[in-house]
Structure 1
Amino acid sequence: MAAPQVRAYLDAVFKPGARLGVRRGDPLTFVEVVEVARVASIRVPSGRLVVDTPWLEDEDGEPRQLAVRIPPGAYRVDAAWTEAPYEFMGEFFSGREVAATRLRVREGTVAVWEMGLAADDDIERLRQGDKVGFTTDTSMGSFGDATAWPTLTAPFRKFWEQCRTATPGALVSRDTESLGGGEFEMVRDEARGADLITFSATEGLSVAWLGRTETGELSSIVVMGHMGIETLA
């Protein structure tokens, strides 16, 4: 289950006006949720959801597929945006960032947050305080259908290969759809009717948090963004 501090963050991050904490190194500036907005809907026809970085180095590596299944269908993806204004070299910035991304499975108030285990996680080896999730050094995660994963991540593998072989200084673009002012990327597999959407994630380990209602039904799947928060408000 989520620790109290994490639970407080997850309960507040999709509530406009909520203060999540203060900017790191600036105890007088609050990080405040300013907008919660729909980014897109993604299709998960298999009901098997991958929550992982699309930049897997090993082409044959297995993506992190959640053990929990969701009903096959299309799901809304929301973003929680925060602002924490700051000044740098005489110029002022809003500090606007994506604090968390949420895949809505069904309506319902979340009563419990728990870590999303992967199909091959060994729960018997977990100890109190351990975290499990996906790792990334690009600060990018994604939601995508497991059965279409090789096709959905092909643009990222192709981009990496082109970057390795491109002439220095040459511009290389990705065959993805930009959303949310460039904060998100979308890939569609029309043959399978499946999609992938990327989102901001914490560099290193990111946890997919499962929000369940009082009756135990899965309501949402949330991944925190890369945030410069020092303390919770």
Structure 2
Amino acid sequence: MAVPQPDFTRLLTDGGPYPFPHDRFRARIRVLPGVPLSLPSGKVIAIEPFMVGGDDGDELAFTEQVKPGTYPVVLSEIDLIDDGGVVWDTRVAAARLVIRDAPVARWELAHTAEQDRAELDDDEHFGFPVDGGLGCFLDAETYRVVGEEEDFANRVMRTMYPRFGGTADGGVVPAPVTLAVGDEPHAVVYYSTGFGDGVYATWIGFTAAGDVGCFLTDFQTLGDEHEGEGGDDEYGNDAPTAPVTSQEPVPLATALTNNALVLGVALSSAGSPLLGQATLSATTDAVPPARFADGQAPAALPARGQRD
């Protein structure tokens, strides 16, 4: 057994307002237009982009392989709104790789060839660890090619800030970012991961005919799904302190300082950004998605976690 499935109906449909752990806010879901992703082998990987390369992509790919081609990645965003309809924060609630434009008849937890869903306890799930605030979809073949590129993590950092709009207080508005690899212009699609770091499960939606309809990574932003590591409420979320009033880009230093958790940039004890952190994480060997308790953010990638 594994953790309960998220509320896919809410995640995949424009709607709301829905209850939110912070009493002063409600949640509204918006589904964005898709952006293309190339799958040259049809072997899908969901991972933090800073961890791409340096390992065997086939070992990280999900067991369900699809026909090679180009498919849209669709983000569902969550707006936190007050009673007056003012938006105070926007995050990515889910990222979906759409293989077939058909209704999903059932959902299953995605896993790699080395993982066995039958071994999961009720409060456990497979997922990929995030400590840089980002996730992505890519193909196993793309993963191999990226392994030959020395500065891919730096490319992620360089593209992250110009492409993500900024708010008046330095906050980051989520948006999908596409990266080219080699001759393929739509090789990697990355995005911010909900309220920041954690361990995020990917689900596979199957059609009534048993075909793969989509892959969906849930970032645990709705209701009881989210249990963070600290913050203003029992879910670990820090309440926004100002409404979203602008989407103009902000200086890099401001974005780094104000969004260390969301963007995964480590801060020193003095509060200054340690700019090498994201690059350092990319130079380590990537690890297969491990098994963690629901909502647990690993300190050192344990093999099994339990809910407190």
Match for 1:85 among 81, 84, 88?
81
Match for 1:173 among 158, 161, 164?
158
Match for 1:46 among 38, 41, 46?
41
Contact in 2 for aligned 1:86/1:93 (Cα 8 Å): yes
Q: Distance in 2 between matches of 1:48 and 1:76?
A: 15
Bigger proportion of residues as helix: 2
Q: Distance in 2 between matches of 1:37 and 1:156?
A: 26
Alignment of 1:196 with 2:188, yes or no, is yes
1:123-179 C-alpha deviation (Å, 9 max, x unpaired): 45333442001111122111001112144474443469xxxxxxxxxxx73499837
Number of aligned residues: 210
Contact in 1 for aligned 2:42/2:65 (Cα 8 Å): yes
Match for 1:14 among 12, 15, 37?
12
Match of 1:31 in 2: 27
Q: Distance in 2 between matches of 1:175 and 1:94?
A: 22
Q: Which runs of 5+ in 2 are unaligned?
A: 166-172, 226-308
1:184-219 C-alpha deviation (Å, 9 max, x unpaired): 322112435761111222522111111112222211
Q: TM-score, normalised by structure 1?
A: 0.75
Q: Distance in 2 between matches of 1:128 and 1:98?
A: 26
Match for 2:128 among 110, 131, 134?
134
Structure 1 residues 86 and 18: CA distance shift in structure 2, 3 A: closer
Q: Which moved more, 1:174-183 or 1:206-215?
A: 174-183
Match of 2:110 in 1: 116
- The residue identity in structure 2 corresponding to 1:173 is R
- The residue identity in structure 1 corresponding to 2:41 is S
- After the TM superposition, which residues 129-168 of structure 1 pair with which residues of structure 2 at under 5 Å, given as runs? 129-152=123-146, 154=149, 155-158=151-154
Q: Distance in 2 between matches of 1:20 and 1:117?
A: 30
Q: Distance in 2 between matches of 1:179 and 1:39?
A: 16
Give, in angstroms, the shift of residue 31 of structure 1.
0.6
Q: Match of 1:173, SS?
A: helix
Q: Which runs of 5+ in 1 are unaligned?
A: 161-171
Q: What is the root-mean-square deviation of aligned Cα atoms in Å?
A: 3.2
Structure 1 residues 192 and 120: CA distance shift in structure 2, 3 A: farther
Q: TM-score, normalised by structure 2?
A: 0.58
Q: Which moved more, 1:197-206 or 1:75-84?
A: 197-206
- The residue identity in structure 1 corresponding to 2:73 is V
Q: Match of 2:189, SS?
A: strand
Structure 1 residues 78 and 189: CA distance shift in structure 2, 3 A: same
Q: Distance in 2 between matches of 1:139 and 1:175?
A: 11
Q: Distance in 1 between matches of 2:28 and 2:154?
A: 38
Structure 1 residues 141 and 207: CA distance shift in structure 2, 3 A: same
Contact in 1 for aligned 2:56/2:144 (Cα 8 Å): no
1:91-122 C-alpha deviation (Å, 9 max, x unpaired): x7532222111110102111211111113213
Q: Distance in 1 between matches of 2:129 and 2:206?
A: 24
Match of 1:166 in 2: none
Q: Match of 2:49, SS?
A: coil
Larger RCO, structure (CA 8 Å, separation 6 or more): 1
